[in-house]
Amino acid sequence: MVSPSSTSVVPPSSVIVLGAGMIGTCTALHLQQRGCQVTLIDRREPGRETSYGNAGLIQRESVEPYPFPRQWRKLWQVLWQSGADVHYHLKALPSLIGPLWGYYRHSGPALYPQVVQAYSRLIAHCVTEHQALMQGVDTQNLVSPTGYLDGFRTPAAWAAAVKDAQRLTEAFGIRHQVLDSAGMAQAEPALHARLAGGLLWQDPWAVSDPGALVRRYAEAFAQRGGTLAEADIQQLHAKGAGWQVETSQGQFEASAVVLALGPWAARWTQTLGYRMPLFVKRGYHQHYAAGGRLNRPLLDAESGYVLAPMQRGMRLTTGAEFAPVDAAPTPVQVTKAERLARQWLDLRDPLDDPPWLGARPCTADMLPVMGPAPRHPGLWFNFGHAHQGFTLGPVAGRLLAELITGETPFIDPTPYCASRF
Ligand SMILES: Cc1cc2nc3c(=O)[nH]c(=O)nc-3n(C[C@H](O)[C@H](O)[C@H](O)COP(=O)(O)OP(=O)(O)OC[C@H]3O[C@@H](n4cnc5c(N)ncnc54)[C@H](O)[C@@H]3O)c2cc1C
């Protein structure tokens, strides 16, 4: 880490990237590849927040973002918080009404197909773009192309999922293998329960320490001449033809700034006068000491949590909690999911006290915000990647870097522009 210099020279093609999660770090790498002089600022080491605690999946199969449930039975379960997958803070609901209504509308038959089209175009490149960034980065023992399993408790849910998987394969070419009860036991011998069946998604990759992958990308950025700065960002304003960022470690200046602050982006967009339907879905994780170990991540598809084999132990990650990003932790979903997971796998003692808490940065239309800030020349947005920000980092970084440097973007950026709101 370096401190800012006392002189405030604005070099040409200089860019400051705010936030060193997966999104900011990949943006910095891509800008650097295009000849920009880049400073990447975060108040912590790279990859220590949301990009640290996720399930570590590079989700090539996830071409359809999670829609708002529309079946009465499911809505009822969500309302009463009777499952492990959704929890909410009652006090948070009034401020969530607007974004959740938008989320509900975009999940309906009129809008959802367009959302899927725009989302799947990004997901299509996730593995190849990670692969490109991994060139020259040590990812040994960190990344494996193991695929990802959905496990089912009931034959009815399994049969419905098999049908849906067939549809995804036909529409998007996503490869999958249908596993019956014996097939699941063979694929994952550590499971001590007999599952109804499963689906093996063959294209996703699994990362056994997601924070470490971000850190290695950031180390590569620094080795190639990029500047990493550990500082708390306090103010952001236009200065002359460029931008000035005031931090706990002094001022930084550049001709352009990228806001890649993940779940904290909303605070900054509001200050700058933008009204966007942003919200977070919080999520927890807990690690367990070695007991049964899976060969690859496994989703308990009817209960909404993931078990992922990580370097630290088996990591259980929870579904969505609707609460303000900085509200006190309420890890009830960890307790519920742990009870269910123990029916499947021998989990020893929990290792995190308290469980880790993070927040998925979400938008009402399920699409990330990537492109220029409509009313602030030289300011760029890259946030709102929701459930797949770890997957999409390199795609988002490349797209934004191409826009900033005036290259022809490899994906049509129109659906992700901030001006859509
Ligand atoms: C439980 C869970 C499981 C998930 N599983 C997956 C998965 O398997 N696959 C997948 O693709 N995605 C997954 N996700 C989603 C994914 O983790 C996020 O979409 C992604 O990490 C967002 O990256 P980001 O860079 O936008 O945000 P972050 O990683 O949160 O980075 C934002 C950065 O901004 C910094 N920052 C904020 N404010 C300031 C400030 N004032 N000054 C300085 N720095 C600041 C923070 O320190 C942070 O490092 C999961 C999320 C959760 C919660």
Examine the domain organization and report whether 190 and 239 are in the same domain. no
Reference 147, options 292, 293, 309, 297; nearest CA is: 297
Q: How far apart are CA 31 and CA 404, in angstroms?
A: 8
Domain end point (choices 319, 342, 363) = 363
Q: The domain spanning residue 76 has which CATH number? A: 3.30.9.10
The answer to whether residues 203 and 333 belong to one domain is yes
78 CA to centre of ligand 1 in angstroms? 25
> What's the gap in Å between 49 CA and the centre of ligand 1?
5
**Which atom of ligand 1 is the closest one to the Cα of 386?**
19
Q: How many domains does the chain have?
A: 2
Q: Quick check: 211 and 51 in contact, CB under 8 A?
A: yes
User: Residue 19 sits in a domain of what CATH number?
Assistant: 3.50.50.60
DSSP assignment letter at 320: E
- Three-state secondary structure string covering 109-168: CCCHHHHHHHHHHHHCCHHHHHHHHHCCCCCCCCEECCCEEEEECCHHHHHHHHHHHHHH
pLDDT, one tens digit per residue, over 40-71 is: 999 999 999 999 999 999 999 999 999 998 88
* Residue whose structure tokens are 């210099």: 5
Domain range enclosing 22: 14-51+211-276+365-420
Dist. CA 350–CA 396, nearest whole Å = 35
Q: Based on C-alpha coordinates, what's the Rg of the chain? A: 21
Residue with tokens 């499963």: 198
Model confidence over 214-257: pLDDT tens digits? 999 999 999 999 999 999 999 999 999 999 999 999 999 999 99
Task: Report in angstroms the alpha-carbon separations of 307 from 136, 154, 340.
Answer: 30, 19, 11
Q: What is the pLDDT of residues 102-149, one digit of tens each?
A: 999 999 999 999 999 999 999 999 999 999 999 989 998 999 999 999
CA of 123 to the centre of ligand 1 (A): 17
Pocket mutation for ligand 1, best pick of 207, 360, 416 (most atoms within 8 Å of C-beta): 360
Q: What is the arithmetic mean of pLDDT over 323-332?
A: 97
CA atoms within 13 A on the CB side of 388: 27
List, chain by chain if needed, residues with CB within 6 Å of any ligand 1 atom: 19-24, 42-44, 48-51, 54-57, 59, 232-233, 260-264, 283, 285, 317-318, 358, 360-361, 383, 385-391
Atom of ligand 1 nearest to the CA of 62: 11
Both 86 and 128 in one domain: the answer is: yes
Q: Based on the domain organization, do 162 and 23 belong to the same domain?
A: no
Q: Does residue 144 share a domain with residue 46?
A: no
